[in-house]
Amino acid sequence: QVQLVESGGGLAQPGESLRLSCEASGINFSVFVTYSVAWYRQAPGKQRELVARISRGLSGGTSVNYVDSVKGRFTISREIAKKTVYLQMNNLKSEDTAAYYCNINSYRNDDYWGQGTQVTVSS
């Protein structure tokens, strides 16, 4: 059974940085590499939104996408051998406060979510 475990959330002041990690288990790394990987977030009273994703490019390779509000501040990456996805968050703002969720998707019927990790940005 595939499981995703997130870590790295916490309290940060505006302008500080946090790095989220999401480690997958129950999946071989040769399969993991074929999945899209993404971070979503959900703030209180708001819908869950896609923050960043690594997916297949249209002509092969990979495509990396970010929601406009985090472009230039957040970086998504993955380490295949460790089956781990990262989200480096720099220059944090109060509006980044949310529960952050890791997601991997096989482009078919397999879609997995982590339990979420809370990020709170406050002075």
Question: Which tens digits make up the pLDDT trace of 30-62?
Answer: 899 999 999 999 999 999 999 999 998 777 788
Is residue 19 predicted with pLDDT exceeding 90? Answer: yes
Q: What six digits make up the tokens of 84?
A: 């781990």
Those residues with Cβ within 8 angstroms of residue 122's Cβ, 6 or more apart along the chain or in another chain: 11, 13, 14, 94, 97
Q: What is the pLDDT of residues 54-69, one digit of tens each?
A: 998 777 788 999 999 9
Is residue 112 predicted with pLDDT exceeding 80? Answer: yes
7 within 8 A of 21, measured Cβ to Cβ: yes
**CA–CA separation, 91 and 74 (whole Å):** 9
pLDDT (mean) for 9-19:
98
